[in-house]
């Protein structure tokens, strides 16, 4: 299985070295063919240089596109170059490479899903985030269940694997700001199969979160509205049989 590991990064020069080193060690130990690409979302530090120094492929965006644009760039690259699947993981060290084998094992099951989401809340192990973030995640999970009919324990998780059908879907349509919950709606409407597997996550190892306590209420309102609008619009735009 050819795997493209997509690491969207904005000013993550401190977190990338240990992450990239561990990723290569895990890939070699588990015996899967993996290429790592760091999508540098117009960083102002040495993110691109550090990534190259540690053997990663780098795509530098000419201006800041946000997490959605950075992730879609990586997913488009995976589809164009014929990878079997693409892994999305953060560049700040929250997503341990040692947990990657769980996601890939689920993707190789007899009834393989189209998207595998790593959930920190299924077994409640490892870093569980702050109370406000857990409350926000719970709210978004409730909204997703309302519109899709399926339970999602960790809707904001950015630790994911996308199969070929998901790559084709998100090649032409992917949410822009804080896209993880909205992407699950698009996948559901398109008839894709999404599952969660339990993973252990860590605290951020470097950099700063794009969602502060001050901006959290705005984030919640914006994402909730985006989920509802995406669900309403997508029924008229996505043809599942074409994926």
Nearest-angstrom CA–CA distance, 241 and 148: 19
pLDDT, position 206: 54
Tens-place pLDDT, residues 72-123: 999 999 999 999 999 999 988 899 999 999 999 999 988 899 999 999 998 7
The pLDDT tens digits for 139-168 are: 898 999 988 888 999 999 999 999 999 999
Q: Residue 105: its pLDDT value, please? A: 94
Structural domain boundaries of the chain? 2-242
As a residue count, the chain comes to 243
Model confidence band, residue 31 (pLDDT cutoffs 50, 70, 90): confident
How many whole angstroms separate alpha carbon 162 and alpha carbon 156?
15
Per-residue b or e along 149-184, where b marks 16 or more CB atoms closer than 10 Å to that residue's CB: eeebbbbbbbbbbbbbbbbbbbeeebbeebbbbbbb
Average pLDDT score over residue span 2-21: 94
Per-residue pLDDT at 45: 95
Q: Does residue 213 carry a pLDDT above 60?
A: no
Band (7; pLDDT cuts 50, 70, 90) = very high
Phi/psi at 93 (nearest 5 deg)? 85, 5
Per-residue pLDDT for 196 more than 60? yes
pLDDT at 132: 72
* CA dihedral sign of residues 226, 232, 238, 240: positive
Query: Cα separation of 3 and 33, whole Å?
Result: 6
pTM: 0.88
Assign a CATH topology to domain 2-242.
Spore Coat Polysaccharide Biosynthesis Protein SpsA; Chain A (3.90.550)
Which segment of 12-21, 196-205, 231-240 scores lowest on mean pLDDT? 231-240
């Amino acid at each position: 299985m050819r795997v493209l590991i997509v690491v969207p990064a904005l000013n993550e020069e401190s977190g990338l070295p240990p992450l990239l080193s561990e990723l290569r060690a895990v890939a070699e130990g588990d015996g899967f063919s993996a290429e790592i690409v760091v999508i540098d979302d117009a960083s102002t530090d040495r993110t691109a240089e550090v990534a190259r120094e540690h053997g990663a492929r780098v795509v530098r965006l000419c201006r800041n596109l946000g997490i959605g644009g950075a992730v879609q760039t990586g997913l488009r690259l995976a589809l164009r170059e014929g990878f079997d699947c693409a892994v999305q993981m953060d560049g700040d060290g929250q997503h341990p490479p040692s947990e990657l084998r769980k996601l890939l094992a689920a993707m190789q099951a007899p009834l393989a899903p189209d998207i595998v989401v790593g959930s920190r809340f299924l077994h409640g192990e490892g870093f569980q985030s702050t109370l406000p973030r857990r409350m926000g995640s719970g709210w978004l999970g409730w909204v997703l269940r309302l519109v899709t009919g399926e339970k999602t324990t960790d809707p904001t998780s950015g630790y994911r694997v996308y199969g070929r059908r998901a790559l084709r879907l998100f090649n032409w349509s992917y949410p822009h700001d804080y896209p993880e919950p909205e992407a699950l709606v698009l996948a559901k409407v398109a008839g894709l199969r999404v599952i969660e597997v339990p993973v252990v996550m860590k605290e951020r190892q470097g950099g700063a979160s794009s969602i502060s306590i001050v901006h959290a209420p705005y984030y919640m309102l914006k994402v909730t509205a985006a989920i509802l609008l995406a669900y309403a619009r997508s029924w008229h735009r996505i043809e599942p049989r074409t994926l």
